[in-house]
Structure 1
Amino acid sequence: MASTLKSAPTITVFRGSKNLGAYVWSPFVTKLETRLRFAGLAYRTDAGSPKSAPRGKIPYMVISEPNSSALATSLADSGLIIEKLKGNGYLHDLNTGLSPVQKAHDMALIALLEDKLYFYQVYERWHENYYIMRAKVFGFMPYPLQVLVGLLAYRSMSAMLYGQGTSRFSVEEISAFRKQIWESLDALLVVSKRNLSVHDDSPFWLLGGTGPSEVDSVLYAFICSTLVCRAGPESRMIVKGFPALLDYAERIHNRYFPDYAHWE
């Protein structure tokens, strides 16, 4: 079947970091980059800042239509950006060939990562390893300002986590929740790899298909974020203890991100 994708636009992804060729701590940045790379859609990167972001958060994107005199469009929120690019004909829907049940599974796994695991990891980073996070996020500021702004950020994160519900659990309970999620994802990957009988270095996919579904860009992003983030040592240790998770990420890295520095 012939491709119906439009001519490639000029895309700049603002990822909150000037460190080119390296994964960042935010899973949503890597999710967006992974989705673009799955489609072979070229893009540039820049640091940007939440102040200039359309919704006040990283990542965001500026896209210029080819052969158009219209002004470049700014887009925000990784999920909405991907949907917009699919709607504009720049990305295929990876879930087109899935059954209704598979689509529901894909959506549920994305929610497990983005609406559960994300907040458990935010707690680990901002509550259990606050000073590492403060230095990472506000290290460009003079130290007295780091202390002030860091305190405001900590209070904001604490209020968010309490309202969302995560911080109403104990540290031990949150740690157990994180491990349970990673354990379940590793188990799914073990089955997927076995069913596909992958013997070369080709990637295998979470739902067991011959190509990625939408959840694969999210899972890969969360694995990378966990492995490179120094403010989440317990999560990093958990992921490194699951061979299928590491093998899955290694294969995607080698295929789609050979220009990026490998996690340690």
Structure 2
Amino acid sequence: MIRLYTFPASLKGTPNPSQFCVKLEAALRLAGVPHELWYEMDPAKGPKGKLPFIEIEGKHIGDSTLILYHLKEKLGVDLDRGLSDLERAQSHVIERMVEERLYWAIVHSRWADNWEVVKAMFFTGLPFPLSLIVPRMARRDMLAALGSQGLGRHTSEEIYDLGARDLATLAMLLGDKPFFFGNEPHLADITVYSALINIIGPDIETPLKEAALSHPNLVLHTERMGELYAARRQRQKITLTLAA
């Protein structure tokens, strides 16, 4: 049995505040891979110092993309089964755009803008003095990462414009299809869903959310994937366990 470690589901409107945690859990559900979900508050416990990570056959593996590579090699889990080589390449490009740039626009929308709203959502309930220390350290680290990545060096207006362009590109690629490559969901759909549900789901108003909502096909895709995500959980009877 695979043990999946993720952040707790602490943000109303999304299955998980981390799009990478959503992505990996959705991938396991849609692929029908039995697993247990363990909540973890300390990313440092993961092999790469981040969440999510999995435990399989006594081994810890980190990074959602590398985890899926491992599951494909060891278990034959291929979320792009049935796609042509060209479609697989297109799926890879979609994944990279969503995770290497759109993700950072989401980070900016939470940790630079709307900080007081996000702090109340993420950190309410921490005892003193952790209630003062933890949010401040978390924000410092996220803003430092945003600056190191490069997007954080732009103005807020420029960041949201770049994010809106990514969303418009996704809307164009999706068109009037139910999923990016036809009538069945693949990894690109899971990746896009994990980002979009974190943009439009939470009660946080941002220019990024406004841009996403301006594309009805992206909204419908998010709803469609959300229904699949919920349905697969019921059939798999996932065990939720709070990690010590």
In structure 2, the partner of 1:250 is 223
Q: Which has the higher contact order (CA 8 A, sep 6+)?
A: 2
Alpha-carbon spacing, 1:112–1:18, altered in 2? closer, same or farther (3 Å)? closer
Determine which of 55, 58, 64 is the counterpart of 1:78.
Answer: 64
Aligned residue in 1 for 2:51: 58
Q: Tell me the secondary structure at the aligned position of residue 222 of structure 1.
A: helix
TM-score (norm 2): 0.83
Give yes or no for contact 1:25–1:226 (8 Å, CA) kept in 2. Answer: no
Q: Secondary structure at the match of 2:8?
A: coil
1:17 counterpart SS class: coil
1:258 partner SS: helix
Map 1:132-211 to 2 at 5 A: 132-191=117-176, 193=177, 204-206=178-180, 208-211=181-184
Task: Give the secondary structure class of the aligned counterpart of 1:217.
Answer: helix
Q: Does 1:120 align with 2:112?
A: no
Please identify runs of 4+ aligned residues in structure 1 that moved more than 6 A: none
How many residue pairs get aligned? The number is 230
**Match runs of 1:24-103 below 5 Å:** 24-49=16-41, 50-64=43-57, 72-94=58-80, 97-99=83-85, 101-103=86-88
SS in 2 for 1:183: helix
Cα distance between partner residues in 1 of 2:17 and 2:207? 15
1:133 Cα deviation (Å)? Answer: 2.7
Unaligned runs of 5+ in 2: 234-244
SS of the equivalent of 2:121 reads: helix
Gaps of 5+ in 1: 1-9, 65-71, 194-203
Task: Name which of structure 1's ranges 126-135 and 80-89 shifts more when overlaid on structure 2.
Answer: 126-135
C-alpha distance in 2 between matches for 1:256 and 1:18: 15
Q: Which has the larger radius of gyration?
A: 1
Taking every aligned residue pair, what percent have the same amino acid on both sides?
26
Provide the C-alpha distance between the structure 2 equivalents of 1:225 and 1:189, rounded to a whole number of angstroms.
19
2:189 is equivalent to residue 223 of structure 1: no
- 1: CA distance, partners of 2:169 / 2:9: 34
Q: CA deviation at 1:179?
A: 1.3
What TM-score, normalized to structure 1?
Answer: 0.78
